[in-house]
Structure 1
Amino acid sequence: MDRIRIVGGNKLNGTIPISGAKNAALPLMIAALLTDETLILDNVPRLADVAQLQRILGNHGVDIMAAGKRPGDHEYQGQTLHISAANIIDTTAPYDLVSKMRASFWVIAPLIARMKEARVSLPGGCAIGTRPVDLLIMALEKLGADIVIDGGYVVAKAPKGLTGAEIEFPKVTVSGTHVALMAATLADGTTVITNAACEPEIVDVADCLNKMGAKISGAGTTRIVIEGVKKLGAARHTVLPDRIETGTYAMAVAMTGGDVQLAGARPELLQSALDVLTEAGTTITPNNEGIRVTRNGAGINPVKVATAPFPGFPTDLQAQLMALMACAKGASHITETIFENRFMHVQELARFGARISLDGETAIIDGIPKLKGAPVMATDLRASVSLVIAALAAEGETMVNRIYHLDRGFERLEEKLSACGATIERISG
């Protein structure tokens, strides 16, 4: 199993290109099931989760062609996928595929909308809390789907098709909003989603669906209106830049010091996180190429943060911020309000010498001047990169084990960091 070896102490200087957003690329790929024409997606990141979803879609009979490099392409530009779901030959998504990635459950929405039936295994994926699918099922039932759970599978039928409806989510749910949005595009009549998630990835998917011929308004607000259409067609869409990757590298620069240009980053996608970094003593400068991040000489200031749905501080950056605060001048408080059981990285950060205590949903981090390298283990996708951030600033050598979690969400992590002066290498086997 691959590991990553890091020797800490180097400042980061240079340019890091930001990849396409995993959290937009996955639902965009799934949206291709809504049409029998070809959907072309540009700037798709090369990630383990993307490859896994290609296998899942292939199981339904979807043809996916990854275009080769073109003259003038930069090595970090994402891949272009041509996705054709002209003939869906199987409406079952089996356990052995879905269990590896939670987002793959979302195929239930386009399958029931277009094929009028779906049989999808209950999902697996990250080990952070329960994250049940009850709100997704509720949304599909409101649209007229008849749903039973049988032998670990969600079996959905709508022989006469779906019908527009009012869907009010009792709590903000990104996955529920994605599922309701996709299913409603082909429903008969108008659907109104209230208490919808406002994440930029929702907006990106809605923009793409509109290019395919959907009639969606209000994406990015808490009220989305979808007028159902009979059919969707071909389109070409570029995946927006990954705000979580942007925030992660910004925190790595804040941790080590230095001066890095995050090429292609869009500040409006993560303003709350950038505000926290500024408060912590980092200089953030948006420019025409993206975002420049610098921290020269000044120490790290402690902060008090609670995670919240967009536009609040993202839960997917909570672990990275905790690593940064391990070396702050004073005590920081980070409260996790989105997912229970999302502090698994605390005991691994403690192996570096970090002083972190838990009080319910709040972690109190007492900053220390220097972390020490240690062997550590990745626990989930976002938490694992917090260990990399800690290791970049720690004295001595760190070995990060079980890095398949990192490969799910970060494209060419070690290449991007080593290009900016980090001593980091992947050890295979």
Structure 2
Amino acid sequence: MEIMDIHGGKTLAGSVTVGGAKNSTVALIPASILSHTKVVFDSVPQIKDVENLRAILGDMNVPSTIDESVLTIDPSNIKQVPLTSGKIQSLRASYYFMGALLSRFGEAVVSFPGGDDIGPRPIDQHIRGFQALGATVHFENDSIHIKAPDTGLVGTMIKFDFISVGATINMILASVLAHGQTTIENAAREPEIIDLATFLNNMGARIRGAGTSQIKIEGVESLSSKNSHTIIPDRIEAGTYIIIAAAIGNGIWIKNVIPEHLDLFLGKLEEMGVNMQIGEDSVYVYPTERLVNVEIKTSPFPGFATDLQQPISSLMFLGEGQGVIHDTIYPKRVRHIPELCKMGAKIWKHENEIRILKSDHLQGTDVTADEIRAGASLMITGLIAPGETRIHDAGNILRGYDRVVHKLRSLGAEVRIIDEQ
């Protein structure tokens, strides 16, 4: 178990380069098994989720190598095996192997996925989608067994009751090799969906409409990778560093950003009083003199991302007036609140919203990161607060943020990872 040790209260400056998107990467790696040739990904973030996914590939006789940010995967001798180990249960994104294995082999046996505890994330829409394509689904020994008919999956109309990134990705993976056309209605529109579709189309898939609420997929016979795929920048990592720059920066340049992926977020920061220069692929944040708190409501893309609601709460500790956050995606994503209160933060849950006031007496102390974005909020607050902050279970932060300690140190932060023992 790792501890992130921060000596906060220091002004930071310089530049930082954002890595590849975690939420793309964790879908692209399972998607790689659909190829009959080697797959190469560039701009791969150095995070623990990548290590875990590579271990799962190894269980299927799919070797992989990584050289800095370049990941090479060879699925040419893949073996069909049940994925029921603890590796699967510890990683939420492992459920993308359901769609990928079903597409490649016509069958998938996968343990119920784990991941961050941020409230219910049911997979019933995934199951109904697989069934609509003709697969049978049953549950046995805490695993999901999915099997296509002997004649293969058949394209159909799939309409989601509510927008789900995970279900959209799984239906794309299951449909690319199905017979005929599949139409996904009420599909998620996140940039990571477009990234996945771009990768698959470059291998020979026929996917249209990614990034809109209607995606059409014409099934093909096989897929083969021919060129490397560069993963899009991580918009959540970019947003996190922009928040850090606004909170304690003396001029910080955040590079490798797609500003269009952060439109509403950047708009809210401008409303708060953050002075930024937004370029084609970067954001420069000037020193901020005065912040005013705002009201934020999370929603599916292109709305305000739920993954940024916890990080931005730390910025609100510096703002005048009351900040209000309504998380409509994961309303139970509030386990960071008692930890922040230990640091002197004025933050509390009121009915279905989070309320925040300016907190003049923040102080470093021992806290625990229960999940990735809660950990990010504690990390930002630890950088703001004077004294020493020790974040236990810091592995949750390392799961989602590329070389975070190295990047923070490059800005002048005093931060390190130490062993819990």
Give yes or no for TM over 0.5. Answer: yes
**1:98 corresponds to 2:97:** no
Q: Is the 8 A contact 1:328 1:367 kept in 2?
A: yes
Deviations along 1:62-108, one digit per CA (max 9) or x if unpaired, are 12122x3xxxxxxxxx5211212112212311141211101111101
The answer for the alignment partner of 1:16 in structure 2 is 16
Separation of aligned partners in 2, 1:93 and 1:32: 16
**1:114 corresponds to 2:76:** no
The answer for the alignment partner of 2:304 in structure 1 is 313
Residue 204 (structure 1) shift: 0.2
**1:244 corresponds to 2:236:** yes
Deviations along 1:94-149, one digit per CA (max 9) or x if unpaired, are 14121110111110111111211111111111111121211111111111111111
Percent identical: 37
**1:194 corresponds to 2:185:** yes
The answer for the alignment partner of 1:79 in structure 2 is 69
**1:415 corresponds to 2:402:** no
Separation of aligned partners in 2, 1:332 and 1:419: 31
C-alpha change, 1:425 and 1:332, in structure 2 (3 Å) is same
The answer for the alignment partner of 1:171 in structure 2 is 162
Deviations along 1:146-184, one digit per CA (max 9) or x if unpaired, are 111111111111122111010000000000000001111
Residue 288 (structure 1) shift: 4.7
Separation of aligned partners in 2, 1:198 and 1:357: 31
Residue 361 (structure 1) shift: 2.0
Q: Is the 8 A contact 1:217 1:224 kept in 2?
A: yes
Pairing partner for 1:184 from 159, 175, 188: 175
The answer for the alignment partner of 2:215 in structure 1 is 224
The answer for the alignment partner of 2:116 in structure 1 is 126
Amino acid at match of 1:414: V
Q: Is the 8 A contact 1:59 1:90 kept in 2?
A: no
Give structure 2 stretches of 5+ with no counterpart: none
Q: Is the 8 A contact 2:274 2:285 kept in 1?
A: yes
**1:323 corresponds to 2:314:** yes
The 3-state SS of whatever aligns with 2:223 is coil
Amino acid at match of 1:108: M
The answer for the alignment partner of 1:7 in structure 2 is 7
How many residues end up aligned between the 2 structures?
418
The answer for the alignment partner of 2:279 in structure 1 is 287
**1:257 corresponds to 2:249:** yes
The 3-state SS of whatever aligns with 1:254 is helix
Structure 1 segments of 4+ aligned residues over 6 angstroms from their partners: none
Residue 426 (structure 1) shift: 2.1
The answer for the alignment partner of 1:74 in structure 2 is none
Amino acid at match of 2:206: K
TM-score normalised over the length of structure 1: 0.95
Separation of aligned partners in 2, 1:62 and 1:135: 29
Separation of aligned partners in 2, 1:245 and 1:291: 13
The 3-state SS of whatever aligns with 2:43 is strand
Deviations along 1:200-228, one digit per CA (max 9) or x if unpaired, are 00000000000000000100000001011
Residue 257 (structure 1) shift: 3.3
Amino acid at match of 1:88: I
Residue 289 (structure 1) shift: 5.0
Separation of aligned partners in 1, 2:199 and 2:310: 31
The answer for the alignment partner of 2:50 in structure 1 is 50
User: Pairwise CA RMSD of aligned residues?
Assistant: 1.3
Residue 6 (structure 1) shift: 1.4
Pairing partner for 2:126 from 100, 117, 136: 136
Separation of aligned partners in 1, 2:26 and 2:241: 22
Q: How does 1:365-376 map to 2 (within 5 A)?
A: 365-376=356-367
The answer for the alignment partner of 2:258 in structure 1 is 266
The answer for the alignment partner of 2:142 in structure 1 is 152
Amino acid at match of 2:165: V
Separation of aligned partners in 2, 1:228 and 1:91: 24
Deviations along 1:339-387, one digit per CA (max 9) or x if unpaired, are 1320000011111111112122201111123412111111101110101
Residue 280 (structure 1) shift: 1.2
Q: Is the 8 A contact 2:259 2:280 kept in 1?
A: no
**1:36 corresponds to 2:36:** yes
Amino acid at match of 1:281: G
The answer for the alignment partner of 1:73 in structure 2 is none
The 3-state SS of whatever aligns with 1:270 is helix
Q: Is the 8 A contact 2:16 2:253 kept in 1?
A: yes
Amino acid at match of 1:210: N
Q: Is the 8 A contact 1:327 1:371 kept in 2?
A: no
The answer for the alignment partner of 1:388 in structure 2 is 379
Q: Is the 8 A contact 2:7 2:415 kept in 1?
A: yes
Amino acid at match of 1:11: T
Q: Is the 8 A contact 1:91 1:111 kept in 2?
A: no
Amino acid at match of 2:250: G
Separation of aligned partners in 2, 1:171 and 1:331: 31
Separation of aligned partners in 1, 2:280 and 2:33: 36
163-172 or 321-330, larger mean C-alpha shift: 321-330
Q: How does 1:332-347 map to 2 (within 5 A)?
A: 332-347=323-338
Q: Is the 8 A contact 1:122 1:152 kept in 2?
A: yes
Q: Is the 8 A contact 1:91 1:117 kept in 2?
A: no
C-alpha change, 1:338 and 1:289, in structure 2 (3 Å) is closer
The 3-state SS of whatever aligns with 2:367 is strand
The 3-state SS of whatever aligns with 1:124 is coil
Amino acid at match of 1:306: K
